[in-house]
Structure 1
């Protein structure tokens, strides 16, 4: 199959492109290579997928461009069968400081992609959404019927994109699915996240810093589970028009996460605390029963096990991945 992965030089998109190539598919990646974080990580994602293509049956093509550019999007969508839409202006705090960029990329870009997919009659668009759409919890765990009251422009943009995706299914018959990811982590993840900050500081003998009192909780999802659920959507027409939670079903306090990582690296370090950051949700916790029922989703990596895997990977790749090493 020929598959387009938007944002395919990024964290999740890079893992998807790599896995699809290894599965023997022909992959087109559309990415702007904007340095929201170190471009070396994105370039590494591209190189890994290209290497996978060179050693297997699949092919890999990289196109530098934006999902807001209608001509570029129309061109790359015109001859693909599936679209995995990962491209976005990510980051809650980035959206608070620059809501205009978040709105343009995440809402207008999604609309541009859907229009091209409708014209090309693609078999399915899989849209990457976020648990940020939920905002303040009225109850936990979140199921897909929970009210969506986001507390950041990023969350609001993802709600809007979900509605466009749903409407294109209901009105135009375009097969679509939206996946609400719950804080995805793993190898080659964005380096300005809690996981990477904790690991980097501990490896350099510095105390991990928690923003807030540490009682906030997160449902962290290992990237391997996210790749698996996306792969499953290539082989089933179930869940068309639906929104599905993709989480680990567990949750951990940020304080406990810092201690798990600290204890893996240097138990003598103290935990430090700083002011909470604007726009961050207090708690996330997923109910994945809908995804389990419709497409058989079963998360396989616990948060504790995933943290240990990530620490091991980080140590092996510190020379090119760690921000403190790269700056030295």
Structure 2
């Protein structure tokens, strides 16, 4: 199939593009290489995808461009069978400092993709959404009926994008699926994530630093589980028109997460604490029963298993990855 992955040089998009390339599909990636995090990772993703495609009968093309370019987006969408729309300005704290940028990319860019798709023969648009749409929990775990009251401009922009996707499905008959990801982690993840920072500090004999008191909880989702559910949507129409959680069902508080990493690498270190960061959610926890019912989605790793795998990958790739973590 012909697959377009917007934001396909980033963490999730890069892993999706690699998986599709390895399966022999014709993959096009649109990414503007925004330096929100060091493009060293994005360059690695592009090289990995090129190598994956070279080993199959499929193809891989990287296009340096922006989803806000409506002509370019329309041209690429019109040549694809399925769109995986991962392009976004990520970062809760970044959005607090500059709310207009995530609105421009995450809302206007999404509308460009959706408009182009409804004017073409697109079979499906799969949209990356976020648990940030929920905001403060009225109950946990979050199910899809939970009120959506985001507490950051980033969360607002992701909510707007998924609601536009829903409307385009209902009004125009465009098959769309929005996946609310819960803190995705794993190899080649953004270097400014808590897990990568904890690992880096412990490997260098420095104590993990926790923002706040460490009682905040997260539902961490391993990248392979995210790739699996997206791969299923390439052919499965059971979730068309739907919005659903993609999480792990198993959450952990940040202090315990730091302890898991510390105990694995440097048990002699003490934890350190600093001021909490603005607009960070206190708790996230996914109810994945809808994704399970529609797609049979089941996470394959709990956080402890996933952290051990990430540590192994980190140590094998420390030479190029650690400098990115240290400067983030």
Q: Does 1:252 align with 2:261?
A: no
1:235 aligns with: 235
Contact 2:196 2:325 in 1 (8 A): no
- TM-score calculated relative to the size of structure 1: 0.98
Question: For the residues of structure 2 that align with 1:295 and 1:61, how far apart are their CA atoms?
Answer: 30
Question: For the residues of structure 1 that align with 2:180 and 2:74, how far apart are their CA atoms?
Answer: 26
Contact 1:200 1:324 in 2 (8 A): no
2:312 aligns with: 312
Question: For the residues of structure 2 that align with 1:116 and 1:64, how far apart are their CA atoms?
Answer: 18
Question: For the residues of structure 2 that align with 1:322 and 1:72, how far apart are their CA atoms?
Answer: 35
Give structure 1 stretches of 5+ with no counterpart.
Answer: none
Give structure 2 stretches of 5+ with no counterpart.
Answer: none
Contact 1:318 1:325 in 2 (8 A): no
- Deviation of the 1:47 alpha carbon: 0.3
- TM-score calculated relative to the size of structure 2: 0.98
Q: Does 1:187 align with 2:183?
A: no
Question: For the residues of structure 2 that align with 1:17 and 1:42, how far apart are their CA atoms?
Answer: 12
Question: For the residues of structure 1 that align with 2:272 and 2:323, how far apart are their CA atoms?
Answer: 20
- Deviation of the 1:58 alpha carbon: 1.6
- Deviation of the 1:324 alpha carbon: 6.5
2:33 aligns with: 33
Contact 2:200 2:325 in 1 (8 A): no
Aligned-pair Cα RMSD in Å: 1.0
> For 1:122-153, what per-residue CA distance to the aligned partner results, in whole angstroms no more than 9, with x for missing partners?
00000000000000000000000000000000
Q: Which moved more, 1:138-147 or 1:317-326?
A: 317-326
Contact 1:191 1:323 in 2 (8 A): no
Contact 1:124 1:175 in 2 (8 A): yes
- The residue correspondences of 1:159-170 to structure 2 (distance < 5 A) are 159-170=159-170
- The residue correspondences of 1:268-279 to structure 2 (distance < 5 A) are 268-279=268-279
> For 1:83-139, what per-residue CA distance to the aligned partner results, in whole angstroms no more than 9, with x for missing partners?
000000000000000101011000000001100111112000000000000000000
Question: For the residues of structure 1 that align with 2:24 and 2:44, how far apart are their CA atoms?
Answer: 20
1:82 aligns with: 82
Q: Does 1:42 align with 2:74?
A: no
Question: For the residues of structure 1 that align with 2:177 and 2:295, how far apart are their CA atoms?
Answer: 11
Specify whether residues 324 and 47 from structure 1 end up closer, same or farther in structure 2 by C-alpha distance, changes over 3 A only: closer
Question: For the residues of structure 2 that align with 1:183 and 1:30, how far apart are their CA atoms?
Answer: 23
Question: For the residues of structure 1 that align with 2:7 and 2:320, how far apart are their CA atoms?
Answer: 21
Question: Per the alignment, in what secondary structure is the counterpart of residue 127 of structure 1?
Answer: strand
Runs of 4+ more than 2 Å apart? 323-327
- Deviation of the 1:326 alpha carbon: 7.5
Contact 2:8 2:16 in 1 (8 A): yes
Question: For the residues of structure 1 that align with 2:232 and 2:166, how far apart are their CA atoms?
Answer: 20
Question: Per the alignment, in what secondary structure is the counterpart of residue 66 of structure 1?
Answer: coil
1:284 aligns with: 284
Question: For the residues of structure 1 that align with 2:326 and 2:14, how far apart are their CA atoms?
Answer: 21
